[in-house]
Amino acid sequence: MDPVFLSRLQFATATMFHFLFVPLTLGITIIIAYMETRYAKTGEKVYLRMTKFWGKLFLINFALGVVTGITLEFQFGTNWSRYSQYVGDVFGSLLAIEASVTFFLESTFIGIWVFGWKKLSAKAHARVMWVIAAAGNLSGIWILTANGFMQHPVGYAIRNGRAELTDFFAVIFNYHSILEIFHMLPSGLLLAAFFIMGISAYHLLKKQHVELFTKSFRIGLTVGLVCSIFVAIVGDFHGVNVAKNQPAKLAAMESHWETQARAPLVLFAIPDEKQEKNRIEIGSIPGMLSFLGFHDFNAKVTGLKDIPKDERPPVLPVFIGFRTMVGIGTLLIMLTLYGWFRRDKLMESPTYLKLMLFSIPLPYIAIEMGWMVTEVGRQPWIVYGILKTAHAASPIAGIQVLFSLTGFITVYGLLGAIGFYLITKYAKQGPAATTE
């Protein structure tokens, strides 16, 4: 029982599960804050009922996001103690700032929002939700900055047998992190938009609470359209940056073996890591990979063969993950674009509504796949170029990790099932008939 492998599995389980809840929280808080502000400004009861309905779903989701987040901060110490010692000087401070500056704000104000309906004016109550939305997204910024350091370490020097901070501003203005931030936070909004549109579609198909859900759907549609396009554009910048900073990741994303100029983009392939080639390749577009990676059809793209074997990430999950993410991303643009032209005829578009209902899982899958590309694609490094994952784990017994891993899978599986059951239950139940 290899503690490194088990710890990786455990961290993957914990983060991927945590991330089933985080993006919705990031996105929907902004949308709910907008809805509640509309209520505070216009006094229209429909916006209050909207706020309460989406708020309830958000709170179930939020609880799961919070509790699953606690374990993550501590897993760096429990399972990755060599890592923590090596980069704690830089990485630890980012986590500490996240907790003290932003997570405090979010957690304290959520209590005020939930229990403060009667104690605060409508305007003040709406403002509390803006604080929550801002704090949640700012938390995300710090965490993504920390992740950006693992992807593309900057602002440090190796001293005293560890990476020590030399330039704090270089760390927080790391271009790699900034791209992650502008890719990830709008993805949260995009996921929330599809969540809202999908559930609204369910009720519109049943022709119930038509006004409330038409309004909700249209808010989701606007947000979804803008964000799906924005996410894709930033994604392109991200790709160029990866091509420059992490050539091995790019090569794995594309299952690209031979270094060549005018590198083609392969739409589908089955990579064979032993033979160092693709078993099957379908739909090759000449020069396209060079263009996507470097915005130049003739650029030279490093192939996996020119990367030492012990520095190559696993190709298959990165390759498939990337294709799934991009495929879904494209689909989301088409769905919202089409919806934009149907926005005044939603009730006459049952097929589209049904499609949107069944599209709820799509952004979830895309986001999880995106993270798989980011994190698996970084392997075998835990901090790119300076520390390998194999050297980062704690000196603990495999059996301990096996126990906790089993615990994580059982407990998270159970809580996830209950959480999604409750969200579905309250989503179907619809808004309370009258509030106040």
Partner 1 sequence: MLLQSIWFFLWGLLWAVFFMTDGFDFGVGTLYPFLGKSDRDKRVMINSIGPLWDGNEVWLLTAGGVTFAAFPKVYATMFSSLYTPLMLILFSLIFRGVAFEFRGKIENAAWKKLWDTFIFLGSFLPALLFGVAFANIFQGIPFDGDGLYHGNTLKLLNPYGLLGGILFVLLFLQHGANWLNIKTTGELRQKSIAVSRKIWLVLVPVAVIFLIASYFATDLYANYFKTPVLFLIILVTVIALFATRFFIAKQSFFKAWFASALTIAGAIFFGIAGLFPRLFPSSMDKEASLTAFNASSSPLTLKIMLGVVLVVIPIVIIYQAWAYNFFKDPVTQEDLDMDEAY
Residues 47-106 that bind partner 1 (CB under 8 A): 52, 55-56, 59-60, 63-64, 66-68, 70-71, 73-74, 76-79, 81-82, 84-85, 87-93, 95-101, 103-105
Is the bond preceding residue 380 a cis peptide, omega within 30 degrees? yes
Of 53 and 294, nearer to partner 1 (C-beta) is: 53
Which CB sits closer to partner 1, 52 or 244?
52
Task: Please work out, in degrees rounded to the nearest 5, the angle formed at the alpha carbon of residue 142 by the alpha carbons of 33 and 406.
Answer: 95
Site residues for partner 1, window 167-186 (CB under 8 A)? Answer: 168
Distance in Å, CB of 160 to partner 1, minimum:
8
What's the burial of 297, exposed, middle or buried (CB within 10 Å: 0-12/13-18/19+)?
middle
Joined tokens for residue 397: 């017994």
Place of tokens 């409330």: 212
- Among residues 259, 260, 284, 400, which is the contact residue for partner 1, using CB under 8 A? 400
In the complex, minimum distance from the CB of residue 18 to partner 1, in angstroms, rounded to a whole number: 11
The minimum distance between CB 128 and partner 1, in angstroms, equals: 11
How far CA 190 is from CA of 187, 224, 225, 392, 431, in Å, comes to 5, 5, 8, 35, 23
Query: Minimum distance between the CB of residue 413 and partner 1, rounded to whole angstroms?
Result: 13
Residues 108-167 that bind partner 1 (CB under 8 A): 108-112, 114-119, 159-160, 162, 164-166
C-beta separation of 253 from 377 below 8 A: yes
Residue 276 near partner 1 by CB under 8 A: no
Residue from 9, 226, 386, 396 binding partner 1 (CB under 8 A):
396
Where does this chain touch partner 1 (CB under 8 A) — which range of 18-26, 316-324, 347-355, 419-427? 419-427
Which part of the chain contacts partner 1 (CB under 8 A), choosing from 43-51, 228-236, 246-254, 407-415? 407-415
* Residue window 193-232: x/- pattern of binding to partner 1, with contact defined by CB under 8 A: ----------------------------------------
CB of 60 to partner 1, least distance (A): 6
What minimum distance in Å lies between the beta carbon of 384 and partner 1?
A: 19
Give the angle 382-388-392 at the CA atoms, nearest 5°.
75
Spell out the alpha helix ranges (H) of 246-360. 247-253, 288-294, 315-341, 350-358
Range in contact with partner 1 (rule: CB under 8 A) among 201-209, 254-262, 300-308, 396-404: 396-404
* Torsion from C-alpha of 312, 316, 321, 324, nearest 10 degrees: 140
Total residues binding partner 1 (CB under 8 A)? 74
How many CB atoms neighbour CB 168 within 10 A?
12
Bridge partners of 234, per DSSP, are: none
* 362-393: burial string, b at 16+ Cβ within 10 Å, e else: bbbebbbbbbbbbbbbbbebbbbeebebbebb
